[in-house]
Amino acid sequence: MAIQQSIPVHLRYGSSGEFTAEVDAARVAVFRPGPGPRKDVAEAVSHALASPLDLPTLDLALVPEDKVVIALDRDTPCAAEVVAGIWSYLERKDIDPAKVTILQPVALGQKSPSDPRRLLPISVQQLINWRIHDPLVENSCSYLATTTNGDPVYLAKELVEADFVLPVGATSYDELLGYRGTNSVLYPGLSNVEALRKTVGQGHQELSPGDERPLRQLVDEIAWLAGIQFCVQVVASDCGGVLEVLAGSTDAVFKRSRAKLDDNWLVSMPGRVETVVVAVSEDVSGHGWNQIGRAVATARQLVKRGGRIVVLSQLSEEPGEGLRLLRGEEYPENCLQPIRDATPVDLIPATQIVNAAGWARILLLSKLAPELVEELFLYPLEESSEVMRILETSESSVILGAAQHTFGIVE
C-alpha cells in the first residue's frame, strides 16, 4: 500500500481569504478542514419538524389561535432559512402569522442581526413580529417562577405570556455552558439585567464541554419551569452554513446534536504538537475578536508550551476594553486580574488570548496594523505564504479550518 507523502491543504479564512499548500504528511498530526454546508436548510427544517425526536409532531401541541414565540438565538447559522422552514410547517397547520413573534436575545457589544423574516412571503413578513429583547426597557420582563435554590426568575414578557415557546438555535461549544443549545437561548439573554450581571464570566479552561456546569443546570431548570419541551437545533458547518437540523424533545435533540457536534468539531489527540494553525472564517456572528479568541483557546489546548499558534484571519476589528489592557504590560499574565476586575464586554476573548499568549507564541495574519498587533503580545504575519515556511520547520502540527467552532482535548 502506498504511503501518503503529502496532504493537500485548503483553508478559507475571513470572508475571502484562502490558504492552499501541500504539506508533508509526516509532519501533520491532524488536518481538519471543517464540514461543508448543506444547501436545503429550509427543507431540512420542515423534514425535522415532520419527524421529531421522542415527541409527537408539533401540530398536536398547537391550535390556530395560539400565541407562538420563536426564541431565536442570535448565533443561529442560516437563521432566515431556518425560520422559513419553520413557517412553512406552521402555515400548513393554519397558525395565524399575526400571533407569531420571533424574539432574539440581547447581546452586548454585538451588531444587530439581520431580519430573520427576510425569506418569508412579503405578506407574512408584515404580520409576524420580530423583536430583540432589551432588558433595560421598563416592564420588559415578567416573573416566571422560583428555582430550587430560591432565586426568582424573570423572562421576557413575550415568553411568559406565550401559549407556545419554540427555542431555536445552534448547538455549539461554549466557554461558560460547556455546550450551548436548546434551552440556553432563554437565559440570560432573554432575562433581566440582574441575570446578565450574574452570569458574566471568563469561562472554564480546565473543564471539557461535557463536565457539569452550574449555569447549564440553571438554564435547563428554567426551561422546565417554563414548560418547554420542544425545540429546533442546528449544528454549524464551515462558511457560516448548517450541517444538521434536528427537532423534537429538548433532551433528545440536545443529546443527538452534541454527538453530531463532537463528531465533526471535537479535536482529540494523544499528545501536544509544536505548531497549531487555525483558520478563522467569517460566520453568522461576524469575524471579530470573539471568533479569534475561541480559535486561539482551542489551539492553546493542543500546542506544546513554547510552541506556535498561527492564526489565519482577515480581522479588522479594533480591540475592545479588555484587550486594550494588554498595552504597556511586560508580560501577558499581568493583565489577567485587571481584565477580571474590569469585567469588560470582551472579557472572554481577552482572557482566552492572554492565557494562550502566556503559553505559546501567537502569530496573527490580519488587516490590523502590525504595531497594534505587537502591543497585544501577538506577532504579525504579512501574508499567508509565511505559514508554509512555519509548517516546513515544525516537527508536528495540527491544521484546523473554521477553528472558532472547534474544541481541543489532549487525552
Measured between alpha carbons, how far is 20 from 9 in angstroms, rounded to an integer? 5
Do domains 6-32+270-410 and 41-262 share one topology? The answer is no
Residue 110, pLDDT > 80, answer no
Range 55-61 average pLDDT: 89
Closest CA to 21 of 269, 361, 277: 277
Which pLDDT belongs to residue 403?
A: 98
Topology annotation, domain 41-262 = Rossmann fold (3.40.50)
**Contacts for 71 with CB less than 8 Å, ≥ 6 apart:** 103, 104, 159, 165, 166, 167, 168, 185, 186, 190
φ/ψ of residue 349, rounded to 5: -60, -35
Rg (CA), the chain: 22
Range 379-392 average pLDDT: 94
Quickly tell me which residue has 489592557 as its cell: 325
Measured between alpha carbons, how far is 235 from 49 in angstroms, rounded to an integer? 16
Average pLDDT score, the chain? 94
Q: What is the pLDDT of residues 135-189, one digit of tens each?
A: 999 999 999 999 999 999 999 999 999 999 999 999 999 999 999 999 999 999 9
pLDDT band for 202, please (50, 70, 90 cuts).
low
Q: What is the pLDDT of residues 268-303, one digit of tens each?
A: 999 999 999 999 999 988 999 999 999 999 999 999
Closest CA to 127 of 150, 108, 102, 151: 102
Residue 318, pLDDT > 60, answer yes
Percent of the chain whose pLDDT exceeds 90: 85
Domain ranges of the chain: 6-32+270-410, 41-262
Question: How many residues would you count in the chain?
Answer: 411
Which pLDDT belongs to residue 200?
A: 80
Measured between alpha carbons, how far is 205 from 303 in angstroms, rounded to an integer? 14
Task: Just give the CATH number of 6-32+270-410.
Answer: 3.90.226.30
Which pLDDT belongs to residue 328?
A: 81
CB atoms < 10 A from the CB of 80, how many?
A: 18
Closest CA to 258 of 286, 216, 206, 201: 216
Range 19-34 average pLDDT: 94
Measured between alpha carbons, how far is 188 from 222 in angstroms, rounded to an integer? 10
Q: State pTM to two decimals.
A: 0.93
Q: What is the pLDDT of residues 335-376, one digit of tens each?
A: 999 999 998 989 999 999 999 999 999 999 999 999 999 999
Per-position b or e across 86-115, b if 16+ CB within 10 A of its CB: bbebbeeeebebebbbbbbbbbeeeeebee
pLDDT band for 93, please (50, 70, 90 cuts).
confident
Cell of 106: 440581547
Percent of the chain whose pLDDT exceeds 70: 98
CB atoms < 10 A from the CB of 50, how many?
A: 13
Residue 1, pLDDT > 50, answer no
Range 46-67 average pLDDT: 92
**Bridge pairing between strands 178-180 and 230-236:** unpaired
Cell of 239: 462558511
Residue 222, pLDDT > 50, answer yes
